Amino acid sequence: MSLDTTEKQELINAHQTHATDTGSAEVQVAMLTERISKLSSHLQQNIHDFSSRQGLLKMIGRRKRLLGYVRGKSEKRYSELIAKLGIRG
């Protein structure tokens, strides 16, 4: 369920705000979104994996808080991030 180095680097390159950005809120949301999608597919196969389900809910909460932070800083950055990741309907 974790991301390997090449996947992380691709996500960072796609969502970074400047050349040396590796941990902005946008990058963190992108990484969490990828991990959430992988874990969701795992849980569809393993419905009794309750500890992973708890981890999934924690990741969803962390992503929600980060999205709230981005939205508070800039509505434009928020809407672009949502559109790029394809979340929220």
Nearest to 29 by CA among 85, 72, 73, 77: 85
Mention every residue, 6+ apart, whose C-beta is less than 8 A from residue 77: 26, 70
Segment 66-83 mean pLDDT: 96
| DSSP state for residue 23 in the 8-state scheme | S
Which tens digits make up the pLDDT trace of 25-57? 999 999 999 999 999 999 999 999 999 999 999
Please tell me the pTM assigned to this model.
0.91
